[in-house]
Structure 1
Amino acid sequence: MSEEIVNEKEELIDPIAQSPGYDETESFVGIWGHPLHAMSVAFPVALTFCNFGADFLYWWSGELFWARAAIWAAGTAFLFGLAAGATGTAELLMVPGIRIRAPAWTHFVIAVLLLSLLGLNWGYRLQGYEAAVLPYGILMSGFNVLVVMVTGWHGGKLVFDYRLGTSKGS
């Protein structure tokens, strides 16, 4: 009886893995073989952390400089995030091996949420950057740090576990 169960497990076929283009995972959007999405995500990630750090330092010290730094970090995180999102969306839609996998769509949805939150954070601060920090600005930037960590973790799994959106070289 146990041999029948083992034989049944061997016969299982993943229908997604049988799809045409499943193995086509190399980046189409790059410069000289270097994927643009992988290169561009570092900026919005770092700036999201900088935004939270500047908010924290403003709360701790009361120095106006940190509130100004926070609005700049929030705005540039959002704008660089748009660029990273554009290259990531292009990869998702153009590469069949990426488009067919559900984890790529999970990463996409969370990244769109992150972009929305980054834009909200920046827009909120445009009404008055000093008054915006406490309490809602620091709460938004802290939540953005959590979302960027989840998004980055999913993106890292796509690259390191599935080798999606990478350049395999010639």
Structure 2
Amino acid sequence: MTQKMVQESDRFQDPIEQHPGYAETESKIAIWGHPLHAMSVAFPVALTFCAFGADALYWLSGEPFWAQAALWAAGTAFLFGLAAGATGTMELLMVPGIRIRAPAWTHFVIAVLLLSLLGANWGYRLTGYEAAVLPYGILLSGFNVIVVIATGWHGGKLVFDYRLGTSKGS
């Protein structure tokens, strides 16, 4: 490379990459090297889809069982989401290489939005689960599915592209 190209590449270095904790991305919230956040997010994701599916089945069949199933799925999605959110927040705040990256904070903000929506979905159903399904319950569940897809995709990018919150192994 020419001297000019070397000077230009030095000039365009990312200052975040120069931070002392930038390379420190290994999970600190783990059991025997298995990151708790990565293990716990599967439950609220699956239950969010279950709530939407139960709403759709109630809409198609009119069977009260599906409205009650949606209530339980929405509630457990919210409660498991709180657990997943707690582990993710601890990970974000405790690991310097995660905390310094903007995409980690974007994932955090979207996940907090999702938790708010999951709580609203559950709370809306507590006053009467059958009456809550149509039309607003199923719309809220459908929107939750969209937000959980966005949150999960963004979280997956953090793990697979940036290797954040993973275990380096022994």
TM-score range, shorter chain: over 0.9
Structure 1 residue runs of 5 or longer lacking an equivalent are: none
Q: Which amino acid aligns with 1:121?
A: N
Q: Find the counterpart in structure 2 of residue 163 from structure 1.
A: 163
CA deviation after TM superposition for structure 1 residue 13, in Å? 1.4
Cα distance in 2 for residues equivalent to 1:5 and 1:63: 73
| AA of the residue aligned to 2:109 | V
Matched AA of 2:32: W
CA distance in 1 between partners of 2:50 and 2:166 (Å): 27
Q: What is the aligned-residue RMSD (CA, Å)?
A: 1.1
Per the TM alignment, residue 92 of structure 1 is displaced from its structure 2 partner at its CA by: 0.1
Q: What is the 5 A alignment of 1:40-51?
A: 40-51=40-51
Matched position secondary structure for 1:21: coil
Task: Find out whether 1:153 has 2:153 as its counterpart.
Answer: yes
Correspondence 1:93-108 to 2 at 5 A: 93-108=93-108
Letter in 2 for 1:10: S
1:113 Cα deviation (Å)?
Answer: 0.1
The whole-number CA distance in structure 1 between the counterparts of 2:124 and 2:33 is 39
Counterpart check, 1:30 vs 2:25: no
* Runs of at least 5 residues in structure 2 that lack an aligned partner in the other structure: none
1:76 aligns with 2:76: yes
Corresponding residue of 2:9: 10
Report deviation, 1:47.
Answer: 0.1
- Aligned residues, how many? 168
- Partner Cα separation in structure 2 for residue 60 and residue 9 of structure 1: 62
Runs of 4+ in 1 over 3 A off after TM superposition: 3-9
- The alignment partner of 1:59 has SS state of helix
- Which residue matches 2:65? 65
CA distance in 1, matches of 2:146, 2:8: 39
Distance (Å, rounded) in 1 between the aligned partners of 2:45 and 2:109: 16
Structure 1 position 109 matched with structure 2 position 112: no
Following the alignment from structure 1 to structure 2, what is the Cα–Cα distance between the partners of residues 20 and 69? 49
What is the deviation of 1:8? 4.7
Mark the CA change 1:117 to 1:6 in structure 2 (over 3 Å): closer, same or farther.
same
Deviation string 1:114-140 (CA, Å, 9 cap, x unpaired) is 000000000000010000000000000
> Corresponding residue for 2:92?
92
Over the matched positions of the two proteins, sequence identity in percent amounts to 82
For 1:47 and 1:17, locate their aligned partners in 2 and report how far apart those are by CA, in whole Å: 37
SS in 1 for 2:17: coil
